[in-house]
Every structure is written in structure tokens, then in C-alpha cells.
Amino acid sequence: MVAAGAQPPIDETFTALPHRRLAEVALGRARELGVSHADFRLERVRYQHLQVRDGALQGASDHEDLGFAVRVVHGGAWGFASGVVLTDAEARRVAETAVAVATVAAGMTSTPVELAPEPVHADVTWVSAYDVNPLEVPIPEKAALLVDWTERLRRGAAVDHASASVAQVQENKFYADLAGTVTTQQRVRIHPEFEAMGAGADTFDSMASIAPPVGRGWEYVTGSALHDWDAELEEVPELLAEKLKAPSVEAGRYDLVIHPSNLWLTIHESIGHATELDRALGYEANYAGTSFATYDQLGTLQYGSGVMNVTGDRTVEHGLATIGYDDEGVQTQAWDIVRDGVLVGYQLDRPMAHLKPELNGGRSNGCAYADSPGHIPIQRMANVSLQPADDGPSTEELISRVRHGIYVVGDKSWSIDMQRFNFQFTGQRFYRITDGELTGQVRDVAYQATTTDFWGSMEAVGGPQTWQLGGAFNCGKAQPGQVASVSHGCPTALFRDVRILNTTQEAGH
């Protein structure tokens, strides 16, 4: 356990690896071969996952990804190679392979690769904020907690089955480049989940925890200070029972009050991905599309209403995309993406920042990331967050402003087109709002809109007391595919006149 206010130590079993020597060999060989840029990255990522169903452990996995990579710019082209044998000879061979790849690629590269400048960060370390490394907690102790969760859920009369799981990751990275930047980093993240399932007279449904994954340690699940697990475990069976008996929604136009546990996902899909500059410029076009928020609209696109202010941030404490330095040696930052409803910024890595030097002072804002030593860094999402109003209303006050509407809590399924423009989202639970008061659950609800219409309908955002940090472990991008973790903060928000679909009726179309 880490003392209060102290930074956790970097794992000694990682720092004992020969990363500095291998970096010196690989970068030295790349320099001999005449590259204009080279970087070396050694990383070890440990993943552990436990799954329980109906009081019994279904599985426990614990695996590690260890290796190193060399990336070069040579002849105006990228070269990349990786290896898993931690020897000088292999470091030399991988560097030579990366240069050979660049030599071949140079003949097919129409626009020479150049990187935006970055100050040298000489031998710096960074560790994420947590108290108890979850990977140091015995598996039987963690399994017992999950078993207890499912047994408590199954006491509810409406609950037929219950599941619980916890995913934990420790990610260590060492980076060095020819410019002189050297970084050593460690971050820990955790995602606990539970879900209760039951059948009603004419339906089968479920109710899950709305606790988000976080950049914290095991302390997240062992008390109520960070999330009140006991209260939620008590509440979920009753919520499920109400949901199973709730009437099906009547499709139409409604005002919506959306809780952060649902709104984070809409931010992720309709703002986070849409404002990655590689998408906006058409570089990311094969897997999950490009973006409607094209670069020619910077400074003019009315993304949403005047109360919409969105930031990118790779520094927020406990964020899943939070890190000290990215995988190109860039110190991470926070910046504006949407200000007063207008698109004013994008997410950048060093190649993208060089292409558009008028952005961020010609500097990357630290959005390069590779999910494995076997993958090349690509532009990945920051913690993209909707900001609260300084003196904004409470959730209850927002609900009180609605005569005919729905209050949305928790995320579930979603769909969005390749340009991040037409979408629909469902949720965990929906409450009818009548004359400013909640009047019971309804089900089979999805809200549907275009990105600009939806954010343009946002009349008010809640105050800081309503702001929460949501997120996901499994954001996918690129070919070959890579997976990243990312958080999105937001307050409760009020939207006017949004189209509501009845999902059961739509399924028959």
C-alpha cells in the first residue's frame, strides 16, 4: 500500500530489465544507418481478469506482453520492427529491420514523414495515482469479493442470474529517442463490473453497475468513499424488478436529462473519435471511418449549443488515457476542442501536428499510443470531457425544468455511422419525467440524432457537483487493430426535443 500523498514506486522487476542497454544498442545502430529519427520502446503489460457467475468462479486469467520496438524515419518514410528476445544482438537486428522497412516504404511514400518538434525530456519518470496495486492482491481475495457480489444480487426476487468480474492492468513503458528524451512510466487501471439478470411476464432484461473503470487501484472496490458498492448492490435488484414491469416507451419527441454514466459514451463516439485529426484529414478511413468534423470547418463548425465546452486532457488524475509522456516522448497536456459550441481544436500526434503547424503552436498534444510492444504508435484518444458550468444546476434542478421527458442513467448499446454523425444510444434505465418529477421507469428506449443536432439541443449543463469521469477499457482503432483505455468526464445535461425510438418496435422493421 502506498503512503498518503506518495508516488507509488516503479516495479523493480521492470526496472531490472536491460532496457537502457538495449536502447543504446538499437539507437546507436539506427544512427549508424543514417536515420533522421529513431525511437526505442520497451514495455511490459500485465493483464488479469476474473469472472464469477451465480456464486462460482468461472475463470481467472493472468498474462503478460513483454517486448521492445524500434521506429525510425529514414528516407522520408516510416520503418518499424519489434522483438521479444532481450539481447544486444536482437536489438541490433530489430533496428536494422526497421531501417530496411523504411527503405522499401520510401519508394511508396508520396509525402515525406516529418515530426513536430518536442523539447527533450531527459530521464524522467511518471507513475499513475493509486494506493493498492490490484495485481498484488491475492486472487482468492478478489474472487471471494466477486462471489459475494453475485450472491447478494441473487437475493433479489427478480434476479435469476448474476455475474461479476474485474479486469486489472499494470502497464510499464520505457522510451528513448535519438534526441535525448528518456521516460520510464507505470500506470495501473481497474474495471470492476456486476450485472443482475431476470425475466418478466413478457421480457428478459438486466441491470448492471454504473461504476466506471478508473485509473486507480484495489482501493476502488474496498470501500464506499470512491463508489458506494454496498448501496448499489442493494439497489440493483429492486431497479431490475421495476424495469421488468415497466411500460414500453411511446416513440416520439422528448426532452432528455442525461446522467454522466450514459453521456460519457455519446461523447466518446460523437466527439472523441470525430476530433482525432487523422480521421478528419482522411488518414484513418478503413476501420470505423473518417469524420464529419473536417479540417476546413475548424473555427466555424457549430458543433453544439453555446453551453458546450469540451477539452482534451491526458493529465486528469485517474483518467484511463492519463500518462506523463506519450509514445513519441511528448509531455502530455490539456487543451480546448470545442469552445462555446464551436470546433476549435483536434487531437494530435507528432506527424499530424507537423502537417498542421497552426494547431497547438505546432506541437503535438501528446496523443500517440501503442497498445503493445508489437504495434507501432498511432494517434489515440485523450480523456475528452464536457465541462460543467461553474455555478450550474444540480441533477434535480435540471429534471425540475422538464414537463415531458426522460431521465437516462447508465450506458448499454450504441450505433454510429462511419463519419461519427448519425447515431443512436440506449441505456441501463430510463425514468419518465412529468411536470418536473420522476414518475417511474419505462423501457425499450433509444435516443436518435445527428451529432450537431444533438449537441445543439443541449440547453444546460450541470454544475461541478454533477460531474463524473466515465470511460471504457476497449476503444478500438486502426488496422491491425489496437485497443486503448480512455475516460470521459461530463456533468448531467439537459437536451430539448430529442427523437426517442421504441427499440422493440424498431427491431421488427
Query: Can you read off the three cell numbers belonging to residue 136?
Result: 498484488
Report the 10 Å Cβ neighbour count for 421.
18
Residues 6+ apart with CB under 8 A from 39: 27, 70, 71, 72, 175, 176, 177, 178, 328, 329
Alpha helices, DSSP H only, in 204-294? 229-245, 260-267, 277-280
Report the 10 Å Cβ neighbour count for 200.
15
| Sign, Cα dihedral of 344, 349, 355, 358 | positive
Residue 430 β-bridge partners: 408, 442
Q: For residues 69 and 376, is the Cβ–Cβ distance under 8 A?
A: yes
Pairing of strands 182-199, 124-127: parallel
Q: Calculate the alpha carbon distances from 419 to 75, 88, 115, 271, 275 in Å.
A: 33, 45, 27, 11, 11
Cα 350 from Cα 117, distance rounded (Å): 8
Q: Is 39 helix (H, G, I), strand (E, B) or coil?
A: strand
Stated length of the chain? 509
User: Residue 479's pLDDT is what?
Assistant: 86
Q: For residues 39 and 31, is the Cβ–Cβ distance under 8 A?
A: no
User: Residue 331's pLDDT is what?
Assistant: 98
Q: For residues 315 and 322, is the Cβ–Cβ distance under 8 A?
A: yes
Query: Can you read off the three cell numbers belonging to residue 256?
Result: 432528455
User: Residue 332's pLDDT is what?
Assistant: 98
User: Residue 291's pLDDT is what?
Assistant: 97
User: Residue 60's pLDDT is what?
Assistant: 97
| DSSP for 419-466, written as a single string | TS-EEEE--SEEEEEETTEEEEEEBSEEEEEEHHHHHHTEEEE--GGG
Residues 413, 496, 460: CA angle, nearest 5 degrees = 95
Cα 424 from Cα 441, distance rounded (Å): 20
Tell me the domains of the chain and their CATH numbers.
Answer: 12-245 (3.30.2290.10), 252-507 (no CATH)
- pLDDT means per 10 residues, the chain with 509 residues, are 74 97 98 98 98 98 98 98 98 98 96 97 97 97 98 97 98 98 98 96 91 97 91 97 96 98 98 97 85 98 98 98 98 98 98 96 97 96 98 98 98 95 97 98 98 98 98 92 96 98 86
User: Residue 4's pLDDT is what?
Assistant: 58
| DSSP for 64-122, written as a single string | EEEEEEEEEEETTEEEEEEES--SHHHHHHHHHHHHHHHHHHHTT-SS-----------
Cα 72 from Cα 67, distance rounded (Å): 17
Cα 364 from Cα 350, distance rounded (Å): 5
User: Residue 5's pLDDT is what?
Assistant: 62
| Rg of the chain in Å (alpha carbons) | 24
Q: Calculate the alpha carbon distances from 105 to 40, 113, 242, 379 in Å.
A: 20, 11, 60, 20
Query: Can you read off the three cell numbers belonging to residue 366?
Result: 501528446
Residue 407 β-bridge partners: 257, 431
